[in-house]
Structure 1
Amino acid sequence: MSIRTFRGGVHPPERKDRSQGTPIERVTSVPQVVIPVNQHFGAPIQPLVKVGEYVKAGQKVADAEGRMTVPVHASVAGVVKKIEPRMQSNNTEGLCIVIEPKDPPEGESAQDYMLPLDPFACSKEEALARIRAAGIVGMGGAGFPAHVKLAPTKPISYVIANAAECEPYLTIDERALLEIPEKVVDGVVIVMKTVNAPEGVIAIEENKKHAIPYVQKAIDENPQVKAGMKIRIQELRTKYPQGGEKMLITAITGRQVPSGGLPMDVGCVVSNVGTLCAIAEAFREGKPLIERGFTVTGGACKTPKNLVAPVGTLVSDLAKAGIVEIDDQSLGKVIFGGPMMGVALPSYEIPVQKNTSGVLLMSEQEAVQYEEDTCIRCGRCIRACPTSIFPALLAIAIESGNYAEAEKIGLMDCIECGTCSFVCPAHRHLVQRFRVGKQVLRALKQKEAQNVR
C-alpha cells in the first residue's frame, strides 16, 4: 500500500501518547446538562420546550424550519430547569437549555428514540430525513448539517472516511477505529448508498497503522461489502493538516477542489469518524445525536482519557465527579478542539457540544505565548501553507485595509489550519488576522449587495 500525502504542511509534536492507550470510557451520570440550542453551521433554531417541562432522552427540544437547520435533542431524561444564555465552546454566549436528570414516572420510558430504519430499504429522501431528524452535524469541528452535505447536486465517485485525526493530542477517532471499527464501516456504507458512490475510502495516518487490521477485518465482515460494495483503506503520511477535506481529497484521488469550490465539485464526500458512527446509530438504533466521544488531555490533566458523554456535559462537572482530575495550579490554557484549530476559553465550565472533539487542559509550559515581531520575509509560511496561498502577503493586505487585494491573494481559500503561524519565526498572529479579515470582507460584500438593491 503506497503512503500518500499533500503539498506543504507541518509536523507539530504529536503528544498523543498520553491518551491513545486509554480505552473509551462512557460517562453514565451527570448532575446536569447545558445544551446549546444552536450547534450547527446555518440558520438559527428555537427552543420547543419550557422551564419545568419533563423531557426524555432523545426528545427534540429545539428546531426550526429551513434547509440549513438541525434539531437538538435532550441528551438525558429530566426536568428543564433554565433556558438562558451561557458561555459556549466557540467563546460566545448563546441560548442554552439546562436539564437536571430525573427518572421518568413509573411505567414510562426514559428514552424517546426513533424506530430503527433500514438504510438499504429506504429512499434517498427518507435517508436524508432520518439524518436530519437525528440532529447530525459534522463532528470533526465544522458542525455543518450532515443532511445537506449528503445531498450533493453532482455525481459522487468517492466517500472518504476522515480517520486521519491529524490534530496533536486528540485520540478519540483512533480509539473508535480500534474499539468500534464495524460501526465506522457501517457508517461508510450507509453514506455510500445515500450519495450513490461506487467507492469508499477510509483514510488513516501512518501513526495509526496499528488500527488498520481492525478496520480491515470490519470491512471484510460487513454484509454490504460481501454483497459487492467497494471499500478500501488508504494509509497517509503523518502530517498536519492531513485531515483537512481538501488535503485528504488531493492525497487520495489526486483531484484538487477549485477555489471557492466544494468536495462534490470533484466527486467526493468527506465525513468524520464520529459523524459516520452517529449516522450508523441513527439508522440501526433510531438514536439521535445526544452524546459524543472526545479526548480530555493536556499537561494540566492528571488523568488523560477518551470519553463518551452526553451533549451538554460540563467539563467542570467531570472534574467534580472525579472522572477527570485537573491540576488547577499548573493550568495555563483551556482549549476546546485541538491545539492548532481549537478555541481557547476562559474556563472549563463549558459544555461539550456536538462538534467537540477534544478538551485540552494545557499547562503553563505548554501554553507559553511568544511576543509578536515583524515579518522577516523568510517565506516559511508560503512553503508550509497546504492551500498554496501567500500568508505573508495576505497579512500585509489585511493590515493595510486592502480587502480586495486580500481576496485576490486567496483569503477565502484559507482553511485557518494554523500552519503559517506555527512555522513563523516572528510568531506573527496570522490566523487571527485572516479570521478577522474574512469577517470584514463578508460584511463589506453584504453592504455592497444592499447598496445595489
Structure 2
Amino acid sequence: MNLKTFRGGIHPPENKEWTRSMPIERIPTPKSVVIHLTQAIGAQNQPLVKVGDRVVKGQMIGDVQACPAATVHASITGIVKKIEPAPQSNLKDGMAVFIEADGTDETAYMPPLDAFVCSREEAIKRLRDAGVVGMGGASFPTDVKLAPPADKPIDTIIANGSECEPYLNIDYRTMIESPADVVEGLAIAAHIVGATRAVVAIEANKADAVPVIEHEFQQHAHGMHMETVLVATKYPEGGEKMLMKAVTGREVPSKGLPFDIGVICQNVGTLKAIKEAFADGKPLIERGFTVSGGACKTPKNLYAPIGTVIADLIPDVIQMSDDVRKVIFGGPMMGITVPSLQTPVAKGTSGILFFTAAESKQFEERQCIRCGRCADACPAQLMPMLINAALLSDDLNRADAIGLVDCFECGACSYVCPARIPLTQRFKLGKDLLRNQRAKEARHGK
C-alpha cells in the first residue's frame, strides 16, 4: 500500500507493545490535586477562588479576560488549601490551586449545548468556558484554533490519530475505546469552522483502529462526509504541519499557520473533550495518558483528574524499579524531563515515562562533520547544521533567515547526528534569545 507521508523523518524504536493492548484505567479520586492556573499557551489566568473556599468538580477556578487563554476548573470537589507557586512540567514554577478532597463527588458542569443548533459564537464560547486545549502536547486554546480569521476559510479538518511518539498509546486507546466521541467531536469541530472535508489520519501501525472509527461515521458524523487516511509509520508523522502535508499535499508557508492553507488539525483526545463539553457540559478536568518506560514495572494507560501529582500514584497505581534515572512528561522525542515527582498532570500531559540509566545515556558533543544527516531527517526541510553554525557564531539574524523559527523542535536532527550535537536544545535556546532580541529592538524602535 502506498501510504501518505512527508519528506524526511526518522524511525526510532516504537516501544508501544508494552501498553498497546491495555485499556485505559481510571484512577481512584486522589486525596488532593495541584491545579496550575495557567495550562495553555497565552495569557496568565488569575484565581477566581481563595484559600478556604469549597470548590466543586467542574467549577471554574482560573480565568482572565484576554486572548488567547484557556479557563481552568476544579477537577475534584473539596477545600482550597493553598494558592502558591508549584513545579510544572515546563520546568517553571507556576501559580497553582491546591485542593484537598472532601470525599464527595458533587459536580458543577454546564448544561448541555447542541453544537449543531447554537450559533457559532455560542459554540466558541462553550469551548472557552470548558477550557478545552490541544491535548497532543501543545495546549493551544481550542476556541481560538476553531475561530480563524474571516479571510482564512477552512475546507479541511484533520483528526490526528497518528501518535508517532515512541511508547505512547493513549490516542490509540482513545480511538479504540471511545470512537463515537472522537467522531462526534470531529463533526462538531468541522461544523464550527465550516469545513467540507473531515479526515481521521491514522498511522499504519494502528490500522486496526480504522474499521472501529469508520463504524461510527454513519451514526455520529451528523451528515458530514468523513474518511480515514492511513499514513506511514514514521516520526514525526503526527506533527501538525507534517500531517497536513501528508493528507492534503499542502504546505504551511514559512512562519505561517495552518489556517493559511485552509486546514485545521485536532488531536483525537481533544475531539473527545469537545464532544464532552457540548453533550455533557463537562469542562476539561480529566485526561488520559500513557505510563511506560524501562523503569516502570506497571506500564499502563491511565485516566486521571488534572492536577494529580505523580508521587501520589506511587506505589498504589504505578510501581517503579530501583534504577529509575529520568522521568519524562510527554514522549521521549519532544517531552520534558522533570526534576520532581511532585509535578502534577496537566492538560497537555500525554505520557509519563520512567527511564533507566540505559535509556538515559548522555553523550559528549563532538565537532560537526557536515554529513547532512540532520538535513535529510528534518521534516521541515531546514538545514540544521547551518542554523547551528549561525547560533554558535551568535548571529541570531542569520539563524532566523535560515529558518530557526520554522523548527518545531521534533528532535529528529539530534537523533541522527553522529557528532551527538544537541541541536534541538540549542534551537530552543536560540529561539528564546531571538524573541528577547526582537522585543528589545521593538522597545528601542528599531
The equivalent residue for 1:32 is: 32
SS of corresponding position for 2:173 = helix
Find the counterpart in structure 1 of residue 234 from structure 2. 239
Q: Which blocks of at least 5 consecutive residues in structure 1 are unaligned?
A: none
- 1:325 aligns with 319
1:419 and 2:417 equivalent? no
Equivalent residues, number: 444
The correspondence of residues 6-405 of structure 1 with structure 2, limited to 5 A, is 6-103=6-103, 110-153=106-149, 154-222=152-220, 224=222, 228-320=223-315, 322-327=316-321, 329-405=322-398
8 Å Cα contact 2:29-2:76 kept in structure 1: no
Shift of 1:67: 1.9
Q: Secondary structure at the match of 2:244?
A: helix
- Verify: 1:409 aligned to 2:407, yes or no: no
3-state SS of paired residue (1:275)? helix
Secondary structure, in 3 states, of the residue corresponding to 2:413?
Answer: helix
Q: CA contact under 8 A between 2:187 and 2:221: conserved in structure 1?
A: no
Q: Secondary structure at the match of 1:137?
A: coil
Percent identical among aligned pairs is 52
CA deviation after TM superposition for structure 1 residue 289, in Å: 0.3
Taking the aligned partners of 1:260 and 1:334, their CA distance within structure 2 comes to 33
Q: Determine the C-alpha separation between the residues in 1 that align with 2:354 and 2:346.
A: 17
Q: One-letter code of the match for 1:116?
A: P
CA–CA separation in structure 1 for the residues paired with 2:155 and 2:61? 37
Tell me, what secondary structure is at the counterpart of 2:208?
Answer: helix
Deviation at 1:223, TM superposition (A): 5.3
CA deviation vs aligned residue, 1:269-309 (integer Å, no higher than 9, x gap): 10011111100000000000000000011011100010110
1:83–1:95 contact (8 Å) kept in structure 2: yes
Task: Give me the whole-angstrom Cα distance separating, in 2, the residues matched to 1:398 and 1:191.
Answer: 40
Q: Distance in 2 between matches of 1:437 and 1:3?
A: 35
Is the alpha carbon distance of 1:400 and 1:223 closer, same or farther for their aligned partners in structure 2, counting shifts above 3 Å? closer
The question of whether the paired residues in 2 share the 8 Å contact of 1:103 and 1:110 is answered with no
Question: Aligned equivalents of 1:12 and 1:316: distance in 2?
Answer: 29
The answer to whether 1:428 aligns with 2:421 is yes
- Could you list the per-position Cα deviations for residues 56-112 of structure 1 after superposition, in whole angstroms to 9, with x for gaps in the alignment? 0000111111121211000000000111111111111111111011145xxxx7100
The Cα of 1:2 is off from its aligned counterpart by: 4.5
Tell me if structure 2 keeps the 8 A contact 1:398–1:437.
yes
Shift in Å, 1:348: 2.1
Q: Whole-Å Cα distance in 2 between the matches of residues 31 and 413 of structure 1?
A: 43
TM-superposition CA deviations, 1:354-384 (whole Å, max 9, x none): 0000000111111111111111111100100
Query: What code does the residue aligned with 1:64 have?
Result: V
- Of residues 212-221 and 3-12 in structure 1, the stretch that sits farther from structure 2 once superposed is 212-221
Q: Supply the distance in 1 between the matched residues of 2:350 and 2:43 (Cα, whole angstroms).
A: 23
Work out whether residues 24 and 300 of structure 2, in 8 Å CA contact, stay in contact via their aligned partners in 1: yes
1:59 maps to a residue whose letter is Q
CA contact (8 A) 1:2 1:235 kept: no
Give the CA RMSD over aligned residues. 1.0
**Amino acid of the structure 2 residue aligned with 1:145:** P
Runs of 4+ residues over 3 Å off in structure 1: none
Pairwise CA distance, 1:413? 0.2
AA partner of residue 317 (structure 2):
I
